[in-house]
Structures are given as C-alpha cells and as structure tokens.
C-alpha cells in the first residue's frame, strides 16, 4: 500500500495523488539540496515562509497538502495508497494476491444473514481474524526508532 509521487509544489499546494490515504514522508528539493518537511497539525499551521522562503513544513487541509513557504521546490511524497477497485474478472491487488483468506472469510461473513445458520459465522470470523493477524505480522513496521509528534509554530 506504499506508493511514491513526485512533482512541483505549486502555490504552496500539492494535490493528493490517486487513492491517497496518508503521508509517510515528504521531502522537498531546490537548488540541489533536499530536506524533509515536518508535519504541523492544521490548527498549528500558518503558511509563512522560513528564512529562505522554501517550504519547511506541511499540513493536510482542504483535501490537499499545503506547505509553508513560498519558494519554488520539487517534492517526493511517500504515502499510503488505498487498494484499487476490483472491476474486471482478472483484476487483483496486493491483498488478494498475498492474503486471499481476508477476502474469502469477509465474503462468507457477509453471506451469513442470508444463509440463516449463524453457526458457521463464528468459525469464519475466527478464520478472518487469523488471516488479518497473519497479514499484520508479515507487514509489521520494521523501521528504527519510535514515532514522535512535533509541534511546529
């Protein structure tokens, strides 16, 4: 579910990429230099330039990413992306390829009210929880250090 988008920051705004869920990391570049942008909560965010005028931090507001700073810069955005919709018979996505049990047991649980017998539903729910736990174990964050919030004013 991780994806990367690149582009130019236009008028202190970056449009959400396709199926954007949340940012992982945002890096700006200008004049051969690159630097990470820090996140600021919307209530702490002011669109003011730092000393060099280049973007220094960002927030998520109005269905877009707004950056503080007025200078021209390019960006690299690493982000979480929603799965694409399955529309054709041959379509697949990461979850269906790597953990088909999540789809299978979710579908079976959804069918339970129409089958009239609640007994198998408990089994399907246990198998769904097991499948989800396996996905979580297999994709557990392996980064270094704890996440930390920063207040930027």
Q: How confident is the model at residue 153 (pLDDT cuts 50, 70, 90)?
A: very low
pLDDT digits (tens, 9 = 90+) for 95-152: 888 889 998 999 988 888 888 766 788 889 899 999 988 888 887 755 544 444 454 4
CA dist 116 and 26 (Å) reads: 50
Amino acid 4: pLDDT: 95
Strand partners, 31: none
Mean pLDDT of 34-53: 77
CA separation (Å) from 146 to 12, 58, 95, 149? 29, 21, 27, 10
Q: Are 35 and 27 in contact (CB under 8 A)?
A: yes
pLDDT digits (tens, 9 = 90+) for 49-73: 454 578 888 999 989 999 987 778 8
């Amino acid at each position: 579910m991780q994806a990367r988008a690149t582009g130019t920051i236009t008028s202190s705004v970056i449009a959400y990429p396709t199926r954007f869920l949340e940012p992982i990391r945002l890096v700006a570049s200008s004049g051969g230099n690159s630097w990470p942008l820090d996140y600021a909560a919307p209530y702490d965010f002011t669109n003011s330039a730092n000393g060099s005028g280049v973007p220094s931090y960002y927030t998520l507001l109005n269905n877009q990413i707004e950056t503080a700073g007025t200078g021209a810069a390019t960006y690299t955005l690493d982000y979480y992306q929603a799965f694409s919709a399955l529309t054709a018979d041959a379509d697949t996505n990461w979850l269906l390829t790597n953990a088909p049990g999540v789809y299978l047991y979710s579908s079976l649980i959804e069918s339970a009210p129409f089958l009239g017998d609640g007994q198998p539903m408990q089994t399907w729910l246990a198998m769904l929880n097991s499948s989800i736990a396996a996905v979580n174990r297999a994709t557990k964050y392996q980064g270094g250090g704890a996440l930390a919030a920063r207040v930027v004013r």
